[in-house]
Amino acid sequence: MKHVIVIGGGFAGLSASIYLAENNFKVTLLEASPKLGGRAYSIYNQKFDDYFDNGQHILMGCYEETLSFLKKINSTNNIEFQNSLHVPFVEKGGGVVELSTYKKFYPLNLFWGILNYKALSIKERLKVIDFFLDLMCCYSCDLKDKTVRDWLECKRQSENTIKSFWEILVVGTLNTTIEKASAEIFSDVLQRIFLSGNKAATIVLPKTSLEKFYLENANRFIKSKNGKINLSERVDRIEIKNNKILKIVTENKSYSDFDFVIMALPEYAVKKIMDNSNININLPEFEYSSILNVNLWLKENPFKEKFYGLIGSQIHWLFNHGKHISLTTSSAENLINLENSEIIRHFCSEIELYFPIFKIEMVIDSKVIKEKRATFIPDIASTEKRKNFNWQLENFLLAGDWTNTGLPATIESAVLSGKIASSQVISSLK
């Protein structure tokens, strides 16, 4: 039986491990931390017997590879599917504006949803529809070397439309601003979400914490196929000879009995290992964006919806987990370095402005999670770097959301990268 070592226990590493194990490869997964999950993990709040996640990880119906991955590990019962797109957006003062589509008559249902999105004027809604029609048929703007801001201005989208519609989409899907985001990659995202059928645009939410959502089942699946998962096993360096990896050296031991290696780590972690190994590899360097997540436990939970989008707020989303709520700010560079107490006060004051039903006195506990390098920024430069990077040994491949999947730094990109790497290993070792 061929033996593959997978380095990294996030979505990319787990995806690669599961596809390999499913195809009768012996898998050993090495993870530096004492837990699986990479940048998508859960923390236990003992005080309330409640798990909370390091950030809210939204899936969408267009996440075909992720949904296939979850099906393999028997986790689809842990997710909740929308029948059709429905997002309640909240304005200051508590007014709710819904972006909703019907289940049938795609793509007319998409246009109907936009026509009924009352955060925009009728003229602005028609301009948004014109934008999507242009996306469906042909481009009137050349997107290469353009930012999303350039594209929106080319399509004469008003500042209110940008603030109340486009910025929400860009920050939510790309975790950066319209001034930095690549128009080329955003156009691909829009086509996958809105122009790939009714199901693609629906939001898919985990019913449970990430620990229960996928980590336990992924762990169980790999071990059921006689795979090994070694936690707290940080790879320090690798040894190469004749264009092949001969040895993997960790803090605790070394490995030489393997046929292939998949390194499923962020590019900066790969670079550290290569530097320790005295290996010169011209890895692409990315600029990173942060995500800030504030979890609040309340005396009583007054929120009715599963989630809300906030228009014009530094808080982009509120997610309702029953025992607690989580408030998420993407591209949070302006807030991430504040003290936790200041962040909590600011977020609670902001929520009071948007939800009259909420009062700061309701909060009985809070946890702040700062992910300073949550995702790379999918700007024009990074798009080209990902396309042009190619470094490969005979028995070594890279995986991760930053590799050339054609997607931004999402769960779908990570899962897809693991599948691509495992498929290449299978073909190579047949």
Can you give the pLDDT of all 430 residues of the chain as single tens digits? 899 999 999 999 999 999 999 999 999 999 999 999 998 888 889 888 888 888 877 899 999 999 999 999 999 998 999 988 999 999 999 999 999 988 777 778 889 999 999 999 999 999 999 999 988 876 556 788 899 999 999 999 999 999 999 999 999 999 999 999 999 999 999 999 998 888 999 999 888 888 888 999 999 999 999 999 999 999 999 999 998 999 999 988 999 999 999 999 999 999 999 999 998 888 889 999 999 999 999 999 999 999 999 999 999 999 999 999 999 999 999 999 999 999 999 999 999 999 999 999 999 999 999 999 999 999 999 988 898 887 778 999 999 999 999 999 999 999 999 999 999 999 998 7
Same domain, 114 and 189: yes
Task: Answer yes or no: is 88 within a domain.
Answer: no
Same domain for 273 and 392, yes or no, is: yes
Domain co-membership, 240 together with 137 = no
Alpha-carbon span 154 to 141, nearest angstrom:
7
Structural tokens at position 317: 């989303």
Q: What is the pTM of this model?
A: 0.94
Predicted confidence at residue 138, as pLDDT, reads 61
Hey, CA dihedral for 374, 319, 294, 171, is it positive or negative?
Answer: positive
Q: What is the pLDDT of residue 107?
A: 79
CB half-sphere exposure, 385, CA atoms < 13 A: 18
Q: In this structure, are 264 and 152 located in the same domain?
A: no
- Give the domain CATH number at 319: 3.90.660.10
Residues 271 and 305 in one domain: no
3-class secondary-structure state, position 30 = strand
Element (H, E) at 421: helix 411-429
In a domain, 77, yes or no: no
Same domain, 272 and 386: yes
Domain boundary residue, one of 196, 222, 238 = 196
Distance of CA 356 to the CA centre of its chain: 31
Residues 313 and 227 in one domain: no
DSSP letters of 168-197?
Answer: HHHHHHHSS-TTTSBHHHHHHHHHHHHSS-
**Cβ–Cβ < 8 Å for 55, 293:** yes
Tell me how far apart the alpha carbons of residues 422 and 430 are, in angstroms, rounded to a whole number: 12
Q: Are 181 and 174 in contact (CB under 8 A)?
A: yes
DSSP, residue by residue, 340-388: HHHHHHHHHHHHHHH-TT--GGGEEEEEEEEEEEEEE---HHHHHHHHH
* Segments forming the whole domain that contains residue 404: 3-39+209-286+378-429
Task: Let me know whether 111 and 189 are in one domain.
Answer: yes
β-strands 59-60, 288-298: how paired?
unpaired
Pair 190, 301 in one domain? no
Domain count along the chain: 3
pLDDT of residue 140: 53
